[in-house]
Amino acid sequence: MAFLGVLMLDTRFPRPLGDIGNPDTFARLQIPVRYRTVGGASPQRVVRDGANLVLTDFIVAAQELVAQGATLISTSCGFLARYQRELQAAVPVPLLSSSLLWLTEPELEAQRCGVLTVDALAFDARQLDGVGADLATIVAGVAQGCEFQRCILGNQLEMDLRQAQQDVVDGALALTSAHPDVTTLVLECTNMPPYADAVVTATGKRVEHIVSLIEHQWRTLA
């Protein structure tokens, strides 16, 4: 049976419903899923030290999932967008490196998009260029050192989920306040989808993320 293959970073932080690393996220969407962890690929290493990333490890894991029957591959970190071309070239099935691929979807062409990232200081043009997105796209991050950022990038065992949600909402509100013409928010971080509904409620904007991209692509392939 066809399934979604997810390349997981080497993590231990909590994964509430809606997170790409929670299998129930896909069970409720009726998308079969299998995970493959890439050893040593910590959030800190991928987000803030991407230059030293061993891309071969991700490629081998993706190829193994395809050999098992995966018809769609996703990564579990939006910062892998910089390697979209290399990763896609390594497998014969669609590969979604990042929710940033939403920025190239035709249905968003008429939208004014803004990206909310886990770390605005680490985010640079390579992420946008990697997926072929407009380099002038508005990008903003959650507050430096906030609960959400600290626990995700620090790979902490525990996280205050209520505070994490507030951190993501606050980041989205700051972005839309500074850029009121933004109509669609794309959540870069794959750990932000659990808070997407709260962001919609707070901002009144359309919100897309890695899980919505996966669902969109999966329905297209069906």
Q: Is 48 helix (H, G, I), strand (E, B) or coil?
A: helix
Q: What torsion, rounded to 10 degrees, do the Cα atoms 20, 31, 129, 188 define?
A: -30
> What is the predicted pLDDT for the residue at 51?
56
**Has residue 52 got a pLDDT over 90?**
no
CA–CA separation, 114 and 187 (whole Å): 9
**Has residue 159 got a pLDDT over 90?**
yes
Q: How many CA atoms lie within 13 A of 32 on its CB side?
A: 9
Q: Is the Cβ–Cβ distance between 200 and 172 less than 8 Å?
A: no
Q: What would the pLDDT profile of 16-44 be if each residue is shown by its tens digit?
A: 999 999 999 999 999 999 999 999 888 88
When comparing pLDDT for 47 and 143, which is higher? 143
Q: Write down the pTM of the prediction.
A: 0.96
CA–CA separation, 117 and 128 (whole Å): 12
Nearest-CA neighbor of 161 among 171, 151, 170? 151
Q: Is 210 helix (H, G, I), strand (E, B) or coil?
A: helix
- For the ranges 52-56, 61-65, 107-111, the lowest mean pLDDT is seen at 52-56
Give the chain's domains with CATH numbers: 3-98+211-221 (3.40.50.1860), 100-209 (3.40.50.1860)
**Has residue 49 got a pLDDT over 80?**
no
